[in-house]
Amino acid sequence: MKNNIAHDERIAHLTFASVYPHYLAKVEKKGRTKEELQQVIAWLTGFDDKMLEEQITNKVTFETFFQNAVLNPNAELIKGVICGYRVEDIENPLTQKVRYLDKIIDELAKGKKMEKIMRSTQ
């Protein structure tokens, strides 16, 4: 993904709370649960349920959300296309992290097994 400063800025200033209901609706529509959604978010970010709820309640931006997160070391194993871009080719670190999140939520909604989504290396 080529540098697109306006796009990256827009993503940085979006609040996680404004997008979370869409994530939840997407996975529930496909028969997955809120608990599964929170499990994959926890895998990527290190947030437990309480910490995730605080991010939502405080209406943090994606920039703050990922500053507060401890990204899973296996996140770099997330590959593929989301929103028309290959996540591994995205140059802006924050935009890439947001797209990692989008990608694993998309995989959850598509019925992929949790072990695959969470890039188990066992």
Residue 47 lies in a domain: yes
pLDDT digit string (tens) for 84-106?
A: 889 999 999 999 999 999 999 99
pLDDT bucket at 118, cuts 50 / 70 / 90: very high
Residue 61 lies in a domain: yes
Q: Quick check: helix, strand or coil at residue 82? A: strand
Half-sphere exposure of 20 (CA within 13 A, CB side): 20
pLDDT digit string (tens) for 42-100?
A: 999 999 999 999 999 999 999 999 999 999 999 999 999 988 889 999 999 999 999 99
> What's the one-letter identity of residue 12?
A
The domain tally of the chain equals: 1
The whole domain housing 28 covers 5-112
**Domain containing 52 — which CATH number?**
1.10.8.290
Distance CA(55)–CA(61), nearest Å, equals: 9
Angle at 51 between CA 49 and CA 56, to 5 degrees: 95
Instruction: Give the per-residue pLDDT at 86.
Output: 94
Instruction: Give the per-residue pLDDT at 121.
Output: 57
Is the per-residue pLDDT at 3 higher than 60? no
Residue 33 lies in a domain: yes
> What's the one-letter identity of residue 18?
S
Instruction: Choose among 82, 117, 110: nearest CA to 96.
Output: 82
Residue 117 lies in a domain: no
